[in-house]
Structure 1
Amino acid sequence: MAANASAVNFLVGDLVFAQMTGYIPWPARLLDNSHERQAKVQFVLTQGIYKVTYAKLWPYNEQSKARFVTADTLAYEDFSDAMRESEQMCEGSKQKKWELDFVYELRRQRALLEVEPFFIQQVNQLRRTLTRQNQNYAAAQLAFQELLEMHQLSPLLMLRNKEAVDAIKELCRFKSRRLNDRYEAEHMRDLANYLVERMTSLFPENFHTPNFWDKYSALVAIYRRYTADIA
């Protein structure tokens, strides 16, 4: 019996190559492997559901693709479309695994969230003390100092509090209506930029690109998609 001819080699939900008598091996999703001699599969693109012996099942991997995806088989338009759809499914599965692994890593930062109330308190202090109509630079500087000296800033804290992070980022462009406050306003912008640099440095280097904030927003969406409250 062939090495692949066993139920234990396949899991429900696996993408496989399956072959019906008279047809070329075709990408399919495995639906049921409870029978010891044959599995139930659903073929990609055609959506047909059939039972196929394990001897006619192969893993959907690079070795199988090198064997079954040839110039001749790709000449069949339906097979070519089925392979394109299968590759998109694989990419989607890889992305979902990465997202789940990412959320799992976030869970390991839960102990750092004890500073979250203080973080929000200080950001709200900045919102109150630095407005276009009213500025309390001494109070704002104290809030910035508290935030810059926090030792438990974390990616999880940033992802949970996008509105607070956006408020800090907005202060990087802070301006006062009072002309004689130019120096103080510039100092507030500098402090905001220092704090943003500190927060962005918490993320891996591959995120430190000109489109960091796009990536940050995408991570926030992933966090919110998988968990409403990670703590």
Structure 2
Amino acid sequence: MNDTQPLIQLESLCRYFNSNGMETRAIHNLDLEIYPGEFVSISGPSGCGKSTLLSVLGLLDGATKGNYYLKQHKVEHFDLYQRAALRNKEIGFVFQAFNLIGDMTVFENVELPLTYSFESKSERKQRVMEKLDQVSMAHRENYYPAQLSGGQQQRVAVARGMIINPSILLADEPTGNLDSANGEEIMELLDQLNQQGTTICMVTHDSRFAQRATRTVELLDGQLLQ
């Protein structure tokens, strides 16, 4: 029994989609708790609901029914502004395709989430360089994404996801576009961040990387396999 309050708590969560009168149950009656400091991997076959679940966790999508608590905030009835404000404060993202902006430098890409913060330019610069140093990319601050390898781009993406010091980092197939060597390096980086206290929830198809997490969750047809 964990005496700590869960960072994330899902209760009978459902996400259904309707198309041409047909209902698809992407997530159905899902219960899940994620505690501070955990590294949780979500795995399962294609179409099982992994990415949908990550979108709901990241407040990019809403549940059809059920309860979602993030740091004790009951968020399923938040409006778009409230969701965006909570997401920008509490949640970092790392995507399979990196999602870096091509005409912005490494520094500018990492700084982007701080654009609307009240920090001074010097404070933002210090934070950006700290995060770039943490992922061993400070020496590439003035490079553009096209000048970097896939592994380097994902390191920059991790730094951008961490720049707000999020309560949780959501990683959607973070090694999916990388070869095995670069994938291993990204997993080592995520391991280090978790050991330093970052809570991580990762979707992956790769069973080798799923096993690196402190807890694995398997989905099938939108439901947890017990």
Fold match, TM over 0.5? no
| Larger fraction in helix | 1
Query: Quick check: which has more Rg, 1 or 2?
Result: 1
Scaled to the shorter chain, the TM-score interval is: under 0.3
Does 1 or 2 have the higher relative contact order (CA < 8 Å, sep 6+)?
A: 2
| Larger fraction in strand | 2
Per the normalisation by structure 2, the TM-score is: 0.26
Per the normalisation by structure 1, the TM-score is: 0.25
